[in-house]
Amino acid sequence: MSSNHTLLLTILVFFLGSIFCNVTPAFGSKTHADSWIPVKNLNGPKLVKIGKFAVGEHNNKANSNLMFDKVVKAEIHQGYGIEYNLTIVAKDGARNDKPKTYVTVVVYDQFMDSSHLVSFKGPIYV
């Protein structure tokens, strides 16, 4: 099989996989809104990695210099990928101000092992 065929097959497998994963939740009785699951271990390496990713991506886009501090609240939602809704604390590296709170949504694609920043809002005041 040529490498072109291999590529096509790979794309087809991901395509079918994404259809299957998108369709499956429709059979559940839960709505999107109540299917977020709170994460208890806020220091878990995966969560910290996602938090750092969100800050890094935001810095690239906004040309800012935030430094990830910690995750203070986390919820996940399993769709095609895993959606992470994180409330994080970060410091502005450029200035010497107090840590501030931000809310960010990241989607992690298990098949591609890649993350995507959906939104990054803040600072919010809690």
Ligand X SMILES: *[C@@H]1O[C@H](CO)[C@@H](O)[C@H](O)[C@H]1NC(C)=O
Smallest separation (angstroms) from ligand X to the CB of 49: 19
- The residue type found at 56 is G
Residues 38-77 that bind ligand X (CB under 6 A): 73
* Nearer CB in complex with ligand X: 4/31: 31
* Nearer CB in complex with ligand X: 21/105: 105
Which own/partner pairs from 23-32 qualify as long-range (CB within 8 Å, at least 24 positions apart)?
25/78, 25/79, 32/77
The region that residue 63 occupies, defined by phi over 0 for left and psi between -120 and 50 for alpha, beta otherwise, is left
Q: Which residue is nearest to ligand X (CB)?
A: 85
Smallest separation (angstroms) from ligand X to the CB of 122: 11
